[in-house]
Chains A and B, each alone.
Chain A
Amino acid sequence: MSRAVAVAGTGKADRRRLGATELVWLALVGVTIIGAILVALDGQNLFSIANTRDVLSRSSLLGFVAIGQTLVILCRSLDLSVGYVMALSSLIAATTMNGDPARVPLAIVAVLVVAGAIGLCNGLIVSVLKVNPFIATLGVGLIIKGYLDTQYQGPAGEVPSSFQQFGFSRIGPVPLSTLVMLLVAVAGILFLRKTRTGYHMFAVGGSADVARLSGIRTGRVLVTAHVLCSIAAGLAGLLIAARFGTGSALVYNSGYDLESIAAVVLGGTLLMGGRGGIGGTIAGVLILAVLDTVFNILAVDPFFKDVLRGTIIVAAVAIYARRQIDRKASRIRFGGDGGSGGSAPPGSPPDSAPGDTGDPVPAGQGGAR
């Protein structure tokens, strides 16, 4: 029986694996604590109502985009058109509403339909025409940009004050938009955990061949992910319209495309697909929001701010990459682990193998240079 347990894999390894999402939330806690200390040294309080509100309202906009981006990245795809979809959506919303509260539902439907259609295009180009998603979504994004630049020379449309509530009203310290974003996140998590399509996204991203051989229609799954991703970007566009009170084409310059990808990767989703989830992404979004708020309070130079953010993102991904390498140890025949983890008793530390052969570092005269 004890051997059987060993073959089943050590519980220790299992626990370490499960930590992936929790690790990101722990990182969020760490970042928040360090940030709070730095802010406190400056004589202020990171947890004041105003600052908390700042963190949350920052995260709601990026949150929508990153939730959608998580789905496509899980499928081993990518969406670089989200920034343009956001801009277009804000314009469609504002011009359709045109200051009339009665037209709000129509505007929302219009935004979702247009965004969904763009996602459908992205998905079909990637899955049917087999264009690399990077190029496909960049191209679609440029097409939208061209349309926006020729049609809208500035802000357009007017959002009625009733819909502006979506951007500004709060329940306690929590902005309404953050609540909506969290609701969408919960829906996304349930989608991934409870629907076949959600399950199949992990399969398509993990190995398209395995998915296909198991009878999954990989193209459909990919298209679904892209449609949902664009719709999420459309929701972000609606929020922009509510906050600005008008539609703005220039939103596409704000870098939400790359920032959403950074948040997803920071949240522990593998850029190569197949592993991760929305829970981690939300933590990634919050980490970025906390950083921004802390930098703002401390009045860090904006250019240096980017240097810090870049460093943090790269460092985080480097840590994930290391964890990934650790796991490849399953086919070891000799050395460290006493052979495929099969013969070592479950509880024993990996390098307690008897004798000196287990030393992974060249010993004594070995490893001549």
Chain B
Amino acid sequence: MTADPSPAGAGLASSATTLLRMSGIEKSFLGVQVLHGVDLDLRAGEVHALIGENGAGKSTLMKILAGVYQADGGTVELDGQQVGFEHPLLAQQAGVSTVFQEFNLLPERTVAENVFLGREPRRNRLVDAGRMNADTAALLKDLGLTWLRPETRVSSLSVAGQQIVEIVKALSYDARIISMDEPTAALADEEVELLYRLIAKLKERGVAILYVSHRLKEIFDLSDRVTILKDGSLVDTVATADITSDELVRKMVGRPIASFFPDKLPGTEAGDVRLEIQGGGNEQLDGIDLQVRGGEIVALAGLQGSGRTEIAHALFGVDRFTRGSVRLDGRPFTARTPRQAVRAGLALVTEDRKGEGLVLNQSIAANARLVLDAVLPRRAAQGARRIPGILSSLELVSRGSSQEVRFLSGGNQQKVVLAKWLATEPKVIVLDEPTRGIDVGAKERVYTLMRELSAQGVAILMISSELPEVLGMADRIVVLRDGRVAGELTGGSGDLGEETVMALATGHDVEGTRR
């Protein structure tokens, strides 16, 4: 006995029923438009893949569906009726559940307690734990997950187990639409298989699944249709069977490389190796080999979670390499704390500007002096004298150096972060997503700065999800996948395209490059 089709479906062939239709969805954040009139429809019993590069608008679209964000324009129809979810709970009650990347579980509670959180069954006004566990067990049995026990504490489950609990929780709300954001990002191969089986079960029941993923293999394994987004616009929605992976990659990235990347300054040449990692590894990374020469810009490319930031953290003493060796200017180097890394001449411009880069309620001047004062007190006074010059060469727009940085735009905040590090005169600078969320003008300024630093012989390691930037700026590109180096490409001109990088990063074979 399979599960009943949706009550509203009234016996129609369930595969053709359109459950949800999003049309002309628009969304802006702080004046930057991230979705330009996107259309998407979901049919009962289909897996609908949503793909696009980082920043293409996938997550935003998903969050609008989930009721986390509200669309600025466009309509969402569920069963032909217009809806607008003002709160995630309302979406959930309407049968639209979302499994986000960050887990929404209480690790200290059991599987059953998490599944029924906020709706615990009661008898005589008291929670009926027996029934709660039995209901959860029934739900799990229905999905063929008999190995998962309702009484197990969630924190003792593997990542895959936790992910599955999330899906079970979503289902327990009688979800007819489940969207999943990169559900395999943290899973091992054999765990992915488990998820596949669960998804097949859901399809059988007529649940529509919106599947956001970067991994082409999964999209071809799982999905019936695929919608491609690029820069916040809809590129196409096609049946997965009718498209090849090459075509898919092309649709995903195919755009002219913007021309605003400045050329190398005259006299810039690759010098001696300043930073070298040999066989670096820890819990997240394995076999990392990497060299950056003075005057060189090396990009670390790869998907989110592929280990890019982890390399930066291990270098900078936030985390550590437990295997392999690191050399700085030819000498063995291990930073146990960021303080040691700064003293050795490293700088790390972090990805999370507001959380890790700036003290938001302090002034520009205080932020710019922060590292100098804290770590290099003997050079502080001398370094601080350079700060105004650095800030003005970065074209910082502010109401004076006493202005609190929280009032600055993203681009100007980033300039303060850069100034803070440049004041320490680093030998090696690691830039983690240096242009994320900043306007075009500030981007150009950051690129120019990178060229200037190269000309001075600074070694630059740039982490970026923006492929045009990677291709436009880097001398060499090291592509990571699942914590390992998937391949190294030489930048500059030539026939190197976004497709090649993307193919390496997603594990879609081009020339038999396999790990």
Contact = CB atoms under 8 A, between A and B. Distances in A.
B403 interface: no
B380 interface: no
B155 interface: yes
Given A7-B160, A207-B106, A214-B117, A335 B322 contact: yes
B189 to A, nearest CB: 9
A342 B190 contact: yes
Contacts of A198: 127
Nearest to B88: A213
B113 interface: yes
Interface string B281-292: 111111000000
A194 B125 CA distance: 9
B109 interface: yes
Size bin of chain B's contact surface: 35 or more
Interface in A259-313: 270, 274-275
Contact of B127 (A1, A195, A341, A357): A195
Contact of B118 (A1, A216, A343, A369): A216
A339 B324 CA distance: 19
B322 A367 contact: yes
A14 B322 contact: no
Contacts of A365: 325
A290 B125 CA distance: 38
A13 B324 CA distance: 30
A350 to B, nearest CB: 13
Interface stretch (A145-153, A167-175, A324-332): A324-332
Interface in B134-154: 147-149, 152-153
A336 B283 CA distance: 8
A342 B191 contact: yes
A50 B321 CA distance: 59
Classify the interface of chain A: helix, strand, loop or mixed.
Answer: loop
Contacts of A327: 155
Contact of B158 (A195, A270, A340, A361): A340
A9 B117 contact: no
Contact of A210 (B106, B155, B162): B106
B109 A200 contact: no
Interface string A150-186: 0000000000000000000000000000000000000
Given A210-B104, A342-B160, A369-B334, A332 B188 contact: no
A211 B482 contact: no
Given A202-B108, A274-B106, A361-B322, A8 B333 contact: no
Contacts of A202: 106, 108-109, 113
B334 A339 contact: no
A343 B160 CA distance: 12
A33 interface: no
A363 B321 CA distance: 12
Contact of B159 (A270, A274, A330): A330
Contact of B282 (A3, A18, A207, A335): A335
Given A7-B191, A194-B126, A362-B323, A213 B104 contact: yes
A360 interface: yes
Given A215-B119, A366-B324, A334 B108 contact: no
A213 B102 CA distance: 13
B127 A340 contact: no
A210 B117 contact: yes
A4 B188 contact: no
B333 A333 contact: no
B149 A8 contact: yes
Contact of A367 (B117, B186, B188, B325): B325
Question: Which of A199, A200, A361 has the most chain B CB within a 10 Å cutoff?
Answer: A199
27 contacts: A4-B194, A8-B152, A8-B158, A14-B152, A195-B125, A199-B117, A199-B127, A206-B107, A211-B118, A215-B89, A330-B155, A330-B157, A333-B286, A334-B281, A334-B282, A334-B284, A335-B283, A335-B322, A340-B159, A341-B158, A342-B188, A357-B281, A357-B286, A357-B323, A363-B323, A367-B325, A369-B332
Interface of B: 88-89, 104-109, 113, 117-120, 122, 125-127, 129, 147-149, 152-153, 155-162, 186-188, 190-191, 194, 279, 281-286, 321-327, 332-334, 482-483
The 7 A-B residue pairs with the shortest CB-CB distance, nearest first, are: A368-B332, A214-B118, A4-B147, A9-B156, A206-B106, A275-B108, A215-B118
Given A7-B157, A339-B188, A340-B191, 18 more contacts: A3-B190, A9-B152, A9-B157, A13-B156, A14-B152, A196-B127, A203-B117, A211-B117, A274-B108, A275-B108, A330-B155, A334-B281, A334-B286, A334-B483, A342-B158, A360-B322, A366-B279, A366-B323
